[in-house]
């Protein structure tokens, strides 16, 4: 039997092309698109406005879901839920749902593993396995959206901050974003989506050219090339001058304020002098700094800054009028925090 078509991997136009090649009218594609992304159905039988024959053909020739949730963990406070998914080739990824007062945010992965090897990141330590397809990126979102729908709620935000580097899997990531923002389907506002990047300057410029309103978060973590080279090896390829020029360009093209992620690592990047260097680097750029106490990961010797050092660093930023927030870390008890996601199944506690 020929390989089945993975429906979530198709753009709306490709779905139309498929239906037309089957001799169906093009509007059937819009109906199916609505079932997939508005009604969130995962069974062809629920597509009640399609003729029975078409439903049967779809069931024979295509697949609606490709990922199996293997394990779910909910944090002690009930506000963070982490899911380990098995993919069709038995690779695994993790995704996280975070409940805030007003927002329901899915943090999703774009690759199995990651090639960039940032020294403080669990995903980076496990190496790169493969890119996710557009459908696999979207399916993580649909999973959480469906879960929330069952509870009478809606997913409000998506952050591409899980495993992998979104801009190193540019095409699939961009297609997934187009699917999620498509008005005939999931219809998520572009401003509700944030891409986090390790700082691939050409990717940031390419994103700027899309003329999109999606948010950009840049994982900075150090304000000198000397230190950033050590923490984030790709900095040697795209040093700070190039990265910051790309960020300024992104702001000029989109008018959107950029977020800079700064994980505070004890005695490494958390002195008041380093806060001053950060202020200097960001001078004149419309931006916001997210301070994150480092999440310890077993593979890395780095430790989170103690509270006193965090507050002193933040006070220095405040004095220099650098907009910032100290992020309340979520889900560390289930290793769902930034940089703690990994491919393998976690050992049973």
Spatial separation of the C-alpha atoms in residues 27 and 34, rounded to whole Å: 11
* 175 contacts: CB under 8 Å, gap ≥ 6: 11, 134
Q: Which is nearer to ligand SAH, 251 or 302 (CB)?
A: 302
Q: Residue 105's binding partner, choosing from ligand SAH, ligand SF4, none, with beta-carbon cut-off 5 to 8 A by kind?
A: none
Extract the tokens encoding 14: 């490709």
Spatial separation of the C-alpha atoms in residues 261 and 166, rounded to whole Å: 15
Q: Residue 194's binding partner, choosing from ligand SAH, ligand SF4, none, with beta-carbon cut-off 5 to 8 A by kind?
A: none
Lookup result for tokens 């780095």: 302
Please, what is the angle between helix 307-319 and helix 272-282, to 10°?
40
Q: Which is nearer to ligand SF4, 122 or 244 (CB)?
A: 122
Residue ranges that bind ligand SF4, judged by CB under 6 A: 114, 116-118, 121, 123-124, 164-165, 198, 219, 339
Q: Which is nearer to ligand SF4, 123 or 140 (CB)?
A: 123
Active-site annotation holds for 101: no
* 307 contacts: CB under 8 Å, gap ≥ 6: none
Q: How far is the CB of 46 from ligand SAH (least distance, A)?
A: 34
Residue ranges with strand state E in 252-321 = 258-264, 287-293
Residue choice 294, 317, 322, 336 for contact with ligand SAH (CB under 6 A): 294
Q: Which of 24, 94, 136, 261 is catalytic?
A: 94
Q: Residue 161's binding partner, choosing from ligand SAH, ligand SF4, none, with beta-carbon cut-off 5 to 8 A by kind?
A: ligand SAH
In terms of Cβ atoms closer than 10 Å to its own Cβ (0-12, 13-18, 19+), residue 242 is middle
The candidate with the shortest Cα–Cα distance to 221, out of 316, 340, 305, is 305
Residue ranges with strand state E in 220-344 = 258-264, 287-293, 324-326
Q: Does 120 bind ligand SAH (CB under 6 A)?
A: yes
Q: How far is the CB of 51 from ligand SAH (least distance, A)?
A: 44
Note the residue count of the chain. 349
Q: Does 75 bind ligand SAH (CB under 6 A)?
A: no
Q: Which of 107, 247, 287, 338 is catalytic?
A: 338
Q: Does 198 bind ligand SAH (CB under 6 A)?
A: yes
- Lay out the site mask for ligand SAH across 162-191 (x = CB under 6 A, - = otherwise): ---x--------------------------
Active-site annotation holds for 338: yes
Please identify the residue of the shown chain whose CB is closest to the bound ligand SF4. Answer: 124
Pairing of strands 62-63, 5-6: parallel
Q: What are the catalytic residues?
A: 94, 338
Using CB under 6 A, list all residues that contact ligand SAH. Answer: 114, 120-121, 161, 165, 196-198, 219, 261, 263, 292, 294-295, 297, 338-339
């Amino acid at each position: 039997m020929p390989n089945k078509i993975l429906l979530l991997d198709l753009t709306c136009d490709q779905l139309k092309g498929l239906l037309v090649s089957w001799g169906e009218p093009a509007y059937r594609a819009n109906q199916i698109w609505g079932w997939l992304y508005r009604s969130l159905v995962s069974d062809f039988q629920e597509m009640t406005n399609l003729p029975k024959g078409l439903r049967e053909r779809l069931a024979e020739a295509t697949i609606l879901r490709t990922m199996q949730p293997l394990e779910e963990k909910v944090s002690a406070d009930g506000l963070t839920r982490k899911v380990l998914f098995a993919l069709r080739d038995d690779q695994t990824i993790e995704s996280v749902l975070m409940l805030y007062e007003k927002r329901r945010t899915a943090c999703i992965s774009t690759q199995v593993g990651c090639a960039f090897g940032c020294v403080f990141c669990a995903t980076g330590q496990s190496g790169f396995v493969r890119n996710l397809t557009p459908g696999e990126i979207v399916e993580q979102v649909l999973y959480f959206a469906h879960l929330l729908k069952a509870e009478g709620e809606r997913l409000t935000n998506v952050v591409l901050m899980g495993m992998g580097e979104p801009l190193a899997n540019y095409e699939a990531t961009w297609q997934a974003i187009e699917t999620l923002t498509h008005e005939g389907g999931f219809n998520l506002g572009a401003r509700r989506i944030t891409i986090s990047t390790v700082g691939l300057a050409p990717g940031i410029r390419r994103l700027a050219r899309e003329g999109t309103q999606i948010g950009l978060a840049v994982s900075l973590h150090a304000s000198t090339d000397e230190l950033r080279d050590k923490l984030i090896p790709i900095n040697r390829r795209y040093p700070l001058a190039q990265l910051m020029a790309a960020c300024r360009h992104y702001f000029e093209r989109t008018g959107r304020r950029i977020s800079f992620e700064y994980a505070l690592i004890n005695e490494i990047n958390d002195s008041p002098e380093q806060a001053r260097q950060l202020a200097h680097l960001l001078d004149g750029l419309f931006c916001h700094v997210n301070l994150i106490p480092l999440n310890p990961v077993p593979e890395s010797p780095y430790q989170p800054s103690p509270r006193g050092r965090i507050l002193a660093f933040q006070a220095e930023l405040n004095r220099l009028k650098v907009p910032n927030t100290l992020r309340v870390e979520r889900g560390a008890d289930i290793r769902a925090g930034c940089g703690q996601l990994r491919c393998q199944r976690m050992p049973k506690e």
